């Protein structure tokens, strides 16, 4: 039964890590691409420091979610 439990824990950790990837894409990669390619005037109505702060916030959130997934993996049984 511990093999089933271990697989469920790995599946949960994988799902949590996918959420961190989604937050990273949404909050970090999207604004950078929007500014580089000037998509619909992205970033023109926002001060650079505000945009940078938002990107850092999303980056921190993504890292926090990723480390939460790693914390879940500590419950694996040998």
Q: Using one digit for the tens of pLDDT, what is the confidence trace for 40-58? A: 877 778 888 998 999 999 9
What integer pLDDT is reported at residue 53 of this predicted model?
Answer: 94
pLDDT band at 62 (very low <50, low <70, confident <90, very high): very high
Q: Count CB neighbours of 7 within 10 A.
A: 11
What ranges do the domains of the chain cover?
47-77
pTM, 2 dp:
0.84
Residue 33, Ramachandran bin (φ over 0: left; ψ between -120 and 50: alpha; else beta): alpha
Q: Using one digit for the tens of pLDDT, what is the confidence trace for 13-38? A: 999 999 999 999 999 998 888 888 88
- Nearest by Cα to 31 from 13, 53, 2, 9: 53
Q: Alpha-carbon Rg of the chain, whole angstroms?
A: 17
């Amino acid at each position: 039964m511990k093999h089933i439990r271990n697989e469920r824990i790995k599946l949960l950790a994988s799902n949590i890590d996918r959420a961190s990837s989604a937050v990273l894409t949404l909050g970090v990669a999207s604004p950078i691409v929007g500014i580089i390619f000037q998509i619909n005037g992205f970033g023109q109505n926002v001060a650079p420091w505000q945009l940078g702060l938002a990107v850092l916030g999303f980056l921190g959130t993504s890292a926090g979610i990723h480390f939460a997934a790693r914390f879940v993996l500590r419950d694996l049984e040998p």
